[in-house]
Chain A
Amino acid sequence: MDYGIYQDKLTRIVTDIARSHSLWILAYGTGCGAIEVPATMTSRYDAERLGVRGAATPRQADVLMITGYLTVKTLKRVIRVYEQMQDPKYVIGFGSCAVNGGMYWDSYNTIKQLDLYLPVDVYISGCMPRPEAVLEGFAKLQEQIRAGEARGATKYKDNLDYYRGNQKKIIKNWDFPDYNW
């Protein structure tokens, strides 16, 4: 996020509060973790009361949820989706697999460390993390946003070469268009 536009600190605070209370998530169901998202959204846990709701396409979304293990093939799509999202945008790594590969720690085609490729703001550990943990993760993200610390998008933009290098190392058939935040 380019904070230069909003010089006024008050504006920034208000903006951050609004952003923290309106998280439109793009639940990219990469793995088995996707099964916990409906449970989080529906009546028992009701994430909508925190302002969390599903978005249909990357252009509308704020939060990219990586729910579960990421194969190399899926990583390509995830990066593409992330780059299509509009600033400010946040990434939540969801489940042990996103943290360190989890039970796929020795798999030949699964990503072990997500933040080599995408700037992750919040990790939710567990296999599976229960909806309570997911809500906790959202609360954490909200805190970060309010504190102005959730700057994954800026980080990605600034260190684009680093991320691109890592991505190109693992994705063999590289055919990405330019990143056009």
Chain B
Amino acid sequence: MEGILMSILGAIATFLLAFVVGMTYGGIRRKVIARVQNRYGPPIYQNFIDAFKLFSKTTAVHHGAMHLLGPAFLMVSAVVALMIIPVLRDNIWFTNLNFKGDLIFLIYIMTFGPLGMALGAGQTGNPNSAIGVTRGLSQMVGFEIPWVMALVALMIKYNTTSVVDLMNVQNEVGQWLIFQNPFAFVAAILASLGMFRYAPFNIVGAPTELASGPASENGGKFLFTMMSAGSVFAFVKLTLLVDVFFGGASNLIELVIKTFLLYMIPVMYGVVNPRYRTEQAVTYFWGWPLLFGFLAIIYSVYF
């Protein structure tokens, strides 16, 4: 009984942590963009205010069952991915389902949410939503390739497909994987530019082009759910990168510092870039990122 209670509390704690960290990072991102544009910018807790406001707004209309389920799919996928990912090293509170799944499972469960959301967006009947979805899926085909190559390079080097084992390997060797296979890190971080969907890869939401794409018919609680799921997803992606390349974190402060520094890479890259066209956003990942992916695999096999 105590074990069940503990695991439920642990799951809730993990979720709250991810939510708060993800939201705050979102706020920091807005602040950073503002500072780069020589503005004062909103306070870093602005995203919490926005989320609370969205939650308190009435949601009067829906377009059918899939529209209602779309954000739910997104949330489920985010939460399950969060439960699989090891948040901290050797910490009983954040264990959750760490040992039940592996990297390939993670890759797939993380695509489950956006696809569910895509179905929800599809049922609204807004042409912009569907266009946004087709762009998002196309882009996914682009960045998954270098991303998978980076992960495969690590898997074959250390004979494991589990995130927990990869973390342990780094502790045993005493060196982070970013130094052991830098090519894999470069490929992964370039792929993560597409994963975060910040400029220049913000072709899905593109407010001035597509009226925010898949989100265009969602207001109020729908948008709140999407926003929170997005924040949790951002946390999941960052934690995964930290776990895989930076040896994980043993306490929350270390985790926050590492994830924050990593988060700044896509943010800084995005803040000085305009938006790509869709085919550019797809083929971008088949240039340098792909080359680094190949290098990573070759490096893993022969060195």
* Chain A–chain B contact at Cβ < 8 A: yes
Give the B-binding residues of A (Cβ under 8 A): 1-2, 6, 14-15, 18-19, 21-22, 24, 42-43, 46, 48-49, 51, 53-54, 56-62, 85-88, 180-181
**Closest A residue, CB atoms, query B38:** A43
Q: Can you sample 7 A-B contacts with CB below 8 Å?
A: A14-B52, A19-B56, A46-B34, A49-B34, A54-B207, A56-B207, A86-B60
Nearest B residue to A23 via CB reads B53
Contacts A42-B39, A46-B39, A51-B46 given; does A60 touch B219 at CB 8 Å: yes
Contacts of A51 in B (CB 8 A): 42, 46, 49-50
Q: Name which of B16-24, B210-218, B228-236 contacts chain A.
A: B210-218
- Asked if residues A86 and B220 are in contact (CB atoms below 8 Å), the reply is yes
| The 8 A-B residue pairs with the shortest CB-CB distance in the complex, in nearest-first order | A59-B219, A56-B212, A46-B39, A22-B53, A87-B58, A56-B211, A56-B207, A18-B52
With both beta carbons as reference points, the residue of chain A lying nearest to B56 in the complex is identified as: A15
A100 and B50 CA atoms in complex are apart in Å by 34
Given A48-B41, A51-B46, verify A60-B215 contact (CB < 8 Å): yes
Check A60 against B37 for contact (C-beta < 8 Å): no
> Which residues of B are found within 8 Å of A19, using beta-carbon distances?
53, 56
B60 and A60 form a contact (CB under 8 A): no
State the CA gap A114–B186 with chains docked (Å): 57
Chain B's interface size range is: 20 to 34
Complex CA distance for A87 and B60, rounded to whole angstroms? 8
Q: Does B268 contact A (CB under 8 A)?
A: no
| Chain A positions within 8 Å of B61 at CB level | 180
Contacts of A18 in B (CB 8 A): 49, 52-53, 56
Known: A42-B37, A181-B58. 18 other contacts (CB 8 A): A14-B52, A15-B53, A22-B46, A22-B52, A43-B39, A46-B41, A48-B34, A49-B42, A54-B207, A56-B211, A56-B215, A56-B216, A59-B216, A60-B215, A60-B218, A86-B219, A87-B57, A180-B61
How many CB-defined contacts (below 8 Å) exist between A and B?
90
Would you call the interface of chain A mostly helix, strand, loop, or mixed? loop
| Cα–Cα distance between A61 and B219 once the two chains are bound (Å) | 8
Q: Shortest distance in angstroms between A107's beta carbon and chain B's nearest beta carbon? A: 31
- The complex places the Cα of A46 from the Cα of B43 at a distance, in Å, of 12
Q: Given A86-B57, A88-B57, answer yes or no on A22-B217 (Cβ-Cβ < 8 Å).
A: no
When C-beta atoms are compared, the residue in chain B nearest to A2 turns out to be B58
Distance from B252 Cβ to chain A, minimum over Cβ atoms (Å): 27
From residue B221, how far is it (CB to closest CB) to chain A in Å?
A: 10
How far, in whole Å, are A114 and B34 apart by their CA atoms in the complex? Answer: 35
Please give, as numbers and ranges, the residues of chain B lying within 8 Å of A6 by CB-CB distance.
Answer: 56
Among A1, A14, A21, the most chain B Cβ lie within 10 Å of the Cβ of: A21
Nearest CB on B from A146, distance (A): 13
Residue pair B40, A60 in contact (C-beta under 8 Å): no
> B56 to chain A: which residues have CB within 8 Å?
6, 15, 18-19
Which residues on the A side are within 8 Å of B60 (C-beta)? 86-87, 180-181
In chain B, positions 22-74 with a C-beta closer than 8 Å to chain A are: 30, 34, 37-43, 46, 49-50, 52-53, 56-61
Give the chain A neighbours of B211 by CB distance below 8 A.
Answer: 56-57
Residues in chain B near residue A1, CB distance under 8 A: 58
Chain A residue with Cβ nearest B208: A56
If A18-B52, A22-B49 touch, whether A59 touches B42 (CB-CB below 8 Å) is no
Which one of B46, B56, B60, B216 has the greatest number of beta carbons of chain A within 10 Å? B56
Set of chain A residues within 8 Å of B41, measured between Cβ atoms: 46, 48-49
B222 to chain A, nearest CB (A): 8
Contacts of A14 in B (CB 8 A): 52
Q: Which residues of A contact B223 (CB under 8 A)?
A: 59-60
B39 touches A49 (CB 8 A): yes
The residues of A that contact B43 with a CB separation of less than 8 Å are 49
| Closest CB in chain B relative to A89 CB, distance in Å | 9
Q: Nearest CB to that of B50 among chain A residues? A: A22
Report the separation of the CA atoms of residues A19 and B220 in the bound assembly, to the nearest whole angstrom.
12
Q: Given A1-B58, A21-B49, does the pair A59, B37 have CB atoms closer than 8 Å?
A: no
Shortest beta-carbon distance from B150 to chain A in Å: 34
Within the complex, which residue of A42, A46, A61, A86 is in contact with B58, where a contact is CB–CB below 8 Å?
A86
CB distance from A134 to the nearest CB of B (A): 16
Interface 0/1 of B181-224, CB less than 8 Å to A: 00000000000000000000000000100011001111110010
Given A21-B49, A56-B211, A49 contacting B40 (CB threshold 8 A): yes
